[in-house]
Structure 1
Amino acid sequence: MSIAADHATRTHDVAELQAKARDHLWMHFTRQSTLERDGVPIIVRGEGHHIWDADGKRYFDGLAGLFVVNAGHGRRRLAEAAARQAEQLAFFPLWSYAHPSAIELADRLAARAPGELNRVFFTTGGGEAVETAFKLAKHYWKLRGKPAKHKVISRSVAYHGTPQGALAITGIPSMKAMFEPITPGGFRVPNTNFYRAAEMSAPGDDLEAFGRWAADRIEEMIEFEGPDTVAAVFLEPVQNSGGCFPPPPGYFQRVREICDRHDVLLVSDEVICAFGRIGPTFACEAYGYEPDMITFAKGVTSGYSPLGGTVVSERVYEPFSKGDTTFYHGYTFGGHPVSTAVALANLDIFEEEGLNDRVRENSPLFRAALEKLRDLPIVGDVRGDGYFFGIELVKDKTTRETFNEDESERLLRGFLSKALFEAGLYCRADDRGDPVIQLAPPLTIGPAEFDEIEQILRGVLTEAWTRL
């Protein structure tokens, strides 16, 4: 077939796919009107840190799919692990039965989790993992003779998932209004956006003092609601929504003290931050705290098969280990044999290639590359940790004035998202909070790729500023 004929065939195939998508596909977190009007990018292949669309154009995957493909695209080894397991045992539930790959993975995850977090409850994704932790916390306190402890505390703008329980923990009002009334019991405290400390009437010139202030707001909420009614505090090591808020020094140590003092469980939501995104297998270790539960998903399989879970401490597990007590909760595909087999192979890759160490060593270089963008008038802040960074965009660097709703609409959806993609960089331009560009590439990249990302961002952000 000639090049021209091949192109014509591919164009026909893409047009057919677009028509089918327009007629039948309901996208996630997507304006369907955009699909109707402009169609949708169709991604057909991945290799390393690149993806290709149906027209053959290559893009840098600056978001690892969705904070997921930590080991990179195109890992034949993971595909083969899935095929071997499917051929041997394609499916069996963990409802009163078990299978080897789930047992082995639970053992390996427990060995990597800090302290006495030794029990693993598998789900199929992150929202389910958070839902599990929420239900488990309420059930735990009932078994401990404190049935009134049902409330949960999380941070402003934090995203913890879309199931009804997880949505109650999510701190983004605009994502919940259309589904109300939702599960009761969710309460919000300030997040750790030091760049916006002054707007929260918080210490803005001392990071450690700001961290203590933010942690103390958790204690204030516990005391206001009543310690006998609060079951758990849900926190991400680095908060995703709003644009990669890292914890100030001492923040999590203070939160741990507060939770212990008031007999409240601490849940580390690591759906994004675990499996090398910040450096260690579990990000709580990077910041020196031991939670009562860790939720995980995404990077555990590098996206090659769906899997999530909740790692639970011996303290929380103990009342469930006796007599006829049962945690009446589970998912048909939680701990799926294929997914857990893929996760085991994925962990092997992490160990053999030293991906966690790679992140720890290269993170300062990644930050330094992005910090170069501070010379642009539209860049207000660069923040994050590991291979997880956000760039906050502002209208005035001196006053830190942000964009109004109409300007954000024109900047993010009207220009930036499309322009970045057309420039060859897939990443997130988000306004859940203030306008931010987020980056979370595969953990396999290094300094040369940091510079490539910076150059693409520089060109697009420079044009964005001229348009404003």
Structure 2
Amino acid sequence: MSALSQWIEDFEGNEMPETIITSGKGGWVNIQGSKPAYEAVSGHSCLNLGHAHPELVKSMTEAMETLSYCSPEHLSPASIALSAKLDELLGGDFMTKYSLSGSSANETALSIARRRWRALGKPEKTVCLSLDRSYHGNLGQAQFVTGFEAFRVEGRPDSPEFIHVSSARNADTGATYTLDEIEQQLEQSISTIGADKIACLFVEPIGFAGGVIVPPKGYLKLLRTLCDKHEITLVVDEVITGFGRSGTWFAFQQEGIRPDIVTMGKGITAGCFPLAAVSVDKAIYDDLRAHKVPLKMVITMAGHPVGCSIALKAIEIVERDGLCQQVTVNSQLIHAKFEQLIHQPTIFEVRGFGHMWALEFCEYNGHTAPHIAEKVAQQCQENGCIVAAADGVIRINPPLNISVEECDGMLLAIVEAVEQISHELLI
């Protein structure tokens, strides 16, 4: 079997070596012509419960037999129940609009944020702020919200409606800014643009795709305060970080804030079905309805009853099996193991928490960081572990239900790969 007719490349436009995944069970996949490997990046940050979870398979089958489709202009019992469950998990008084992917969820959130200010008589508030290392998708207007240059869509023009401000980490030095420095930078940006022109600020609690950027504690509280002060809609992108990956249902809950809008995808169905959602503070929804400012956004497959049924079952499993708490325990194990690598000459930094980790490499013995990261990723796969490499950083975010034995094996495969490549490059 060979993919002669399928176009495939990575985020940076590079052609990929032909890796054909033939089957999967739990966290493991079978690769044509190679040995089985563990999904240390949960597929694409979405397989929260691994492959072929029997309860999800049963839920999918029963849902398909009951109602195989429902127009997004109608309701299904599953979509109603999921909306109610999301409202509960988010803290109450949220209205949910379904979407199809993280990109489309963020595009929907952008439209809602801008229409909010139009409804309130401030149509000039249209500018969208996001972070310079952010990733919010690469379709439609979401590609403009994305700030990470490595993932920038080729040919995308700059737009004065989309301004990328500094993330919590200095992209040049790797140093994390203090809260005071972050506040000064944001206040300066807002002053230069004019708060009367800014509609929203998009933020990921952890910038996973951008290199697993972990901001200082109090970061989201600071953003909430600044957004309130300047009348800016705070959009928290939980497409990757949501549904337990941080150790809480949503990563923003670790700081006890309330976003205006939350976007979700990937893990909402544990990667078993395309589904995304945008949950909006009910006060914003009420303003739009009261001022007769419709959203006018209908997506054919949004709120699919099969996807909503799977999402409900996935949430039930995470709750029942205490997987949020288990992620917190695993976080300590992962950190302790990766700390063994900080003395390797190829390693610049180890960072992360929960099930979101990064190994950042540095130039070594004439080899660039991206080259080293790619070689380590290849060695990891040979060791039976799939990781993701881009921009000199390896990203790791395993399924939430990883066993102790699987976690030990995953970490051993990664550590041995780093040590082996570091030794080879020394020669």
TM-score range, shorter chain: over 0.9
Name the counterpart of 1:112.
Answer: 89
Whether 2:231 is the aligned partner of 1:250: answer no
More divergent stretch after superposition (379-388 vs 322-331): 322-331
Count of paired positions:
425
CA-to-aligned-CA distance 1:100-159 (integer Å, 9 cap, x gap): 10010000000110354x111111111111001111111111111001111111111211
1: distance between equivalents of 2:165 and 2:11? 28
Return 5+ residue gaps in structure 1 as ranges: 1-16, 397-402
TM-score by length of 2: 0.93
* Distance apart, 1:348 and its partner CA: 1.2
One-letter code of the match for 2:10?
A: F
The partner residue of 1:387 within 352, 355, 365 is 355
| 1:46 positional shift | 1.6
**Residue 327 of structure 1 corresponds to which residue in structure 2?**
295
Task: Work out whether 1:199 is the aligned partner of 2:173.
Answer: yes
1:312 matches 2:272: no
For the Cα contact (< 8 Å) 2:363–2:369, is it kept in 1?
no
Displacement of 1:284 in angstroms is: 0.7
* Partners of 1:178 and 1:332 in 2: CA distance: 28
Q: Per-residue displacement from partner, 1:409-466 (whole Å, max 9, x unpaired)?
A: 53244x23322211211011110xxx11110000112444333223212222123223
Pick one of 70, 94, 99 that aligns with 2:76.
99
Please identify the structure whose Cα radius of gyration is greater. Answer: 1
Secondary structure at 1:149 match in 2: coil
What does the per-residue CA deviation read over 1:74-96, in whole Å, with 9 as the maximum and x for residues that have no partner?
2121112111111111111122x
Asked if the contact 1:369–1:450 (Cα under 8 Å) also holds between the matched residues in 2, the reply is: no
1:225 corresponds to: 193
CA contact (8 A) 2:9 2:15 kept: no
Q: How does 1:334-373 map to 2 (within 5 A)?
A: 334-373=302-341
SS at match of 1:154: strand
Match of 2:128 in 1: 152
User: Matched residues in 2 for 1:216 and 1:451: separation?
Assistant: 43
TM alignment of 1:269-280, pairs within 5 A = 269-280=237-248
Residues 175 and 323 of structure 1: is their aligned pair in 2 closer, same or farther, counting only changes over 3 Å? closer
Contact preservation (8 Å) 1:215, 1:251: no
Are the counterparts in 2 of residues 243 and 390 from structure 1 also a CA contact under 8 Å?
yes
User: How much is the aligned-residue C-alpha RMSD, in angstroms?
Assistant: 2.2
Please give the alpha-carbon distance, in whole angstroms, between the structure 2 residues aligned to 1:261 and 1:282. Answer: 24
Helix, strand or coil at the partner of 2:401: coil
Q: Which runs of 5+ in 2 are unaligned?
A: none
Whether 2:92 is the aligned partner of 1:132: answer no
Q: Deviations over 1:342-362 (max 9, x none)?
A: 111111111111111111233
SS for the counterpart of 1:164 is coil
Distance 1:114 1:246, change over 3 A: farther
Identity of aligned residues (%): 28
CA deviations over 1:202-238 (Å, ceiling 9, x no partner): xx6xx7x713312432222111100010001000011
- The code of the aligned residue for 1:48 comes to G
Say which structure is richer in helix: 1
CA contact 1:122–1:307 (8 Å) conserved in 2: yes
Q: CA 1:185–1:224 in structure 2 vs 1: closer, same or farther (change >3 Å)?
A: same
Aligned to 1:57: 35
1:419 aligns with 2:395: no
Q: Is the Cα–Cα contact under 8 Å of residues 111 and 295 in structure 2 kept in the other structure?
A: no
Q: Which deviates more from structure 2 when the two are superposed, residues 245-254 or residues 132-141?
A: 245-254
Structure 2 CA distance for aligned equivalents of residues 422 and 177 of structure 1 = 31
Contact 1:237 1:269 in 2 (8 A): yes
1:29 equivalent to 2:3? Answer no
Preserved contact between residue 359 and residue 393 of structure 2 (Cα < 8 Å) = yes
**TM-score, scaled to structure 1:** 0.85
Partner-residue secondary structure (3-state), 1:311? strand
